[in-house]
């Protein structure tokens, strides 16, 4: 039987600690090992570690049902471009961002910043700059192969939803942090971290009953200027969110099957 030792148990640290075990000659060997590991773990665990909080385990049948229910719920999510201008409670936006902020990330440095835009004048500026970038993309930069793939989705350089939707939320990735004294703090796995947070963020908004659209005009440096963000931040995407318009329409498309996207080894 192989018993792995926690990574923080180093030989050098064990020499300086007194090991106290409640072991008698009659104690079974596996129980002796278990007691020893428990004592060493308590002695050597970093001081900021706490017992795992709030974990919930479900009976197998309930687990299966929850996984199926979640899939049925999330597969209803659709990207839309026809938004209503109906007001959305700001608390819903705040909770979705807080949910995104729980995402796993490199060294727990949380390399993101969310800017929530509802001001009509600011949305108008963003639309103007985004459409300028998109016009250049569609008419000068984009290869024909890319335009052919986009054609069934009905996208072009016109982005009226950037003004119609009640909220534009820009997520910025932070390549490094800056302390109050001006010291730089290197961030790790920034793109991966922000990508995971974005997925959780979109899921939270869908779960709340809102529709979304991810928008990535290229380049996006204008967002730093309009939103007054520092040079260590880079716009990752604009998330447009709100209620669908009553006449909202979406492309008739499908997703790949489990067999096409997964391999079990």
Give the domain CATH number at 244.
3.40.109.10
Residues of the chain with pLDDT > 70, as a percent, come to 84
The domain total for the chain is: 2
pLDDT of residue 37: 61
- Residue 155's SS3 state is coil
Give per-residue burial for 26-50: e unless 16+ CB within 10 Å, then b.
Answer: eeeeeeeeeeeeebbeeebeeeeee
Q: Identify whether residues 34 and 119 lie together within a single domain.
A: no
- Mind listing the pLDDT tens digit for each residue in 207-226? 999 999 999 998 999 999 99
Q: What is the pTM of this model?
A: 0.80
Band of the pLDDT at 74, cuts 50, 70, 90?
Answer: very high
Identify whether 87 is part of a domain. Answer: yes
- Residue 211's SS3 state is strand
Identify whether 67 is part of a domain. Answer: no
Structure tokens, 155: 């996208």
Identify whether 71 is part of a domain. Answer: no
Identify whether 60 is part of a domain. Answer: no
- Mind listing the pLDDT tens digit for each residue in 169-201? 999 999 999 988 989 999 999 999 999 999 999
Q: Identify whether residues 221 and 109 lie together within a single domain.
A: yes
Average pLDDT over the chain reads: 88
pLDDT of residue 15: 42
Cα 101 to Cα 112: distance, rounded to the nearest angstrom? 8
Listed in sequence order, the DSSP H helices in the chain are 11-15, 29-44, 60-74, 90-100, 120-136, 144-150, 161-164, 190-208, 221-227, 258-261
A 10 A CB-CB count for 194 gives 27
- Measured N-to-C along each axis, helices 190-208 and 60-74 cross at an angle, to the nearest 10 degrees, of 90
Q: Identify whether residues 140 and 27 lie together within a single domain.
A: no
Identify whether 218 is part of a domain. Answer: yes
Q: In this structure, what is the dihedral angle of CA atoms 244, 135, 201, 113, given to the nearest 10 degrees?
A: -130
Q: Identify whether residues 156 and 241 lie together within a single domain.
A: yes
DSSP 3-state percent helix, strand, coil across the chain (nearest 5): 45, 15, 40
Cα 199 to Cα 203: distance, rounded to the nearest angstrom? 6
* Residue of 164, 153, 99, 100 whose CA lies nearest to 127: 164
Look at 184 and 134; give whichever has higher pLDDT: 184
Q: Does the pLDDT of residue 70 top 70, yes or no?
A: yes
The size of the chain, in residues, is 265
| In contact, 215 and 159? CB cutoff 8 Å | yes
Q: Identify whether residues 105 and 236 lie together within a single domain.
A: yes
Q: What are phi and psi of 256, to 5 degrees?
A: -65, 155
Band of the pLDDT at 146, cuts 50, 70, 90?
Answer: confident
Q: Identify whether residues 228 and 135 lie together within a single domain.
A: yes
Residue range of the domain that includes 47: 1-54
pLDDT of residue 9: 44
Q: Identify whether residues 150 and 214 lie together within a single domain.
A: yes
Q: Identify whether residues 84 and 183 lie together within a single domain.
A: yes
Task: Find the angle CA(114)-CA(95)-CA(217) to the nearest 5 degrees.
Answer: 35
């Amino acid at each position: 039987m192989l018993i792995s030792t926690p990574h923080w148990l180093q030989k050098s640290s064990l020499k300086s600690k007194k090991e106290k075990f409640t072991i008698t000659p009659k104690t079974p060997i596996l129980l002796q090992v278990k007691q020893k590991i428990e004592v060493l773990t308590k002695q050597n665990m970093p001081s900021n570690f706490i017992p795992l909080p709030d974990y919930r385990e479900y009976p197998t049948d309930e687990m299966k049902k929850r996984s199926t229910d979640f899939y049925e719920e999330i597969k209803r999510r659709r990207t839309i471009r026809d938004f209503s201008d109906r007001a959305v409670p700001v608390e819903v936006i705040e909770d979705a961002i807080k949910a995104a902020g729980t995402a796993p990330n490199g060294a727990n440095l949380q390399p993101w910043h969310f800017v929530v835009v509802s001001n009509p004048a600011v949305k108008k500026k963003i639309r103007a700059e985004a459409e300028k970038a998109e016009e250049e993309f569609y008419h000068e930069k984009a290869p024909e192969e890319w335009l052919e793939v986009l054609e069934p989705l009905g996208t072009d350089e016109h982005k009226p939803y950037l003004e119609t939707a009640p909220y534009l939320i820009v997520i910025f990735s932070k390549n490094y942090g800056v302390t109050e004294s001006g010291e730089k703090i290197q961030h790790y796995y920034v793109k991966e971290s922000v990508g995971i947070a974005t997925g959780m963020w979109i899921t939270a908004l869908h779960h709340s009953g809102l529709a979304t659209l991810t928008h990535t005009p290229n380049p996006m440096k204008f967002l730093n200027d309009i939103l007054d963000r520092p040079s260590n931040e880079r716009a990752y995407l604009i998330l447009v969110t709100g209620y669908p318009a009553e006449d909202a329409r979406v492309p008739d498309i499908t997703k790949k099957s489990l067999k096409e996207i997964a391999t079990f080894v």
